[in-house]
Structure 1
Amino acid sequence: MKNVLILLFAFFSYYSAFGQNQSCVCCTEKHAEFDFWIGTWEVTGPNGNKVGNNILTKVENKCVLRENWTSATPGYTGTSNSFYNLKTKQWEQIWIDNQGASLYLKGNRKGNQMILKTDKETNAQGKTFFHQVTWSANEDGTVRQLWETYTEGADVVIAFNGLYKRKQ
């Protein structure tokens, strides 16, 4: 019993010392590239009408950007987790809403924009398509989110175009 207690004490002492000296793995410039989206936002459409509210926070020791969306249309909500994947050297996002829909996006920041895309898929008509979502950090502190769907042989369809304004 005494040996077990000594082992436990040694383990917890090592773990405690290691944990206190551990630096923030996700406190890098790459992990901060999407921080312009952090905040509490009111979102409007191109016509200026409110389309929803969004709250974005950093969680999991600053490794994950968590989104909590509430639509102005009653009953529709969704959440996403965005993170910089050290292994693939790209940003990834997983979106899931309360209607069972999901979206998996990958990409990187270019200039003032975070550009994430889905993999190509084939629709019921045999045409390939993919989704691209672009977040633009504007000089006035707003953020524009533009979700476009690209389908082979068709015009680009805008699925969402929202302007994020910080709530006071």
Structure 2
Amino acid sequence: MRTFLSIAIMLLFSITMVAQSTNCACCTENHTEFDFWVGSWEVTNPNGTKAGENNIQKAQNNCVLIENWTSATPGHTGTSNNFFNSKTKQWEQIWIDNSGGILHLKGNKVGNQMILQTDKDTNAEGQEFLHRVTWTDNKDGTVRQLWETITTGEGVTIAFDGLYRKKD
């Protein structure tokens, strides 16, 4: 009887340990939608010149994608935290760069694109505007990042258009 009880306790302990080790709150399909952006990248402008380098890593038990950007323009860097917000059922990005620039983007994946945008704001001329950033997961393994500023009455301005290629 004692042997049976010992085996039962050991079995229960093993099952509990396996359950705890496989419990990952951020290992859902939603949390992996932006994984195509994970990696170490060289980024080029549409004309082929180097725009910069970017390193995107998963952290906090797969709950966050951390971006570390270094521009080809000397001295310009930035960092973002990207995460799937389970409450709102959407992705968010909080970006801040070393010049004090800040963006808070929200949105979702549609097909092979992650499309995030800011809330509407008003510029100095009283016009409403927003920023929309679209990452496209290309079939050849590259990622295109297109940052558009959309201003009421003015249309769309391209703030950034970069092609990401994985570093070797």
User: TM-score normalised to the size of structure 2?
Assistant: 0.88
Q: What is the distance in 2 between the residues matched to 1:156 and 1:58?
A: 32
Match of 1:164?
164
Residues 112-165 of structure 1, C-alpha deviation per residue, up to 9 Å, x if partnerless?
Answer: 000000000011111100000000000000000000000000120000000000
Name the structure 2 match of 1:128.
128
Q: Aligned pairs, how many?
A: 153
Q: CA RMSD in A?
A: 1.5
The aligned counterpart of 2:63 is 63
1:47-126 matched pairs, under 5 angstroms: 47-126=47-126
Partner of 1:151: 151
Q: Which amino acid aligns with 2:160?
A: F
**Among the aligned pairs, what percent are the same residue?**
66
Closer, same or farther: CA 155–58 of 1 in aligned 2, 3 Å: same
CA deviation after TM superposition for structure 1 residue 83, in Å: 0.2
State the AA in 2 paired with 1:46: P
3-state SS in 1 of match to 2:31: helix
Counterpart position of 2:28: 28
- Measure, in 2, the Cα distance between the counterparts of 1:62 and 1:143: 21
Is there any run of 5+ residues in structure 1 with no aligned partner, and where? Answer: 1-15
Shift of 1:22: 6.1
Classify 1:138/1:21 alpha carbon distance in 2 versus 1 (closer, same or farther; 3 Å). Answer: closer
What CA distance in whole angstroms lies between the structure 1 residues aligned with 2:140 and 2:20? 39
Q: Which runs of 4+ in 1 moved over 3 A?
A: 16-22
The residue number in structure 2 matching 1:9 is none
Cα shift at 1:19: 8.9
Cα distance change of structure 1 residues 17 and 78 upon mapping to structure 2, 3 Å threshold: same
CA drift at 1:20: 3.5
CA apart distance, 1:21: 4.9
User: How far apart in 2 are the matches of 1:21 and 1:141?
Assistant: 32
SS of match in other structure, 2:153: coil
Distance, in Å, in 1 between the alignment partners of 2:49 and 2:18 is: 51
TM-score, with structure 1 as normaliser: 0.88
Q: Distance in 1 between matches of 2:155 and 2:86?
A: 35
Whichever residue aligns with residue 43 of structure 1, its letter is V
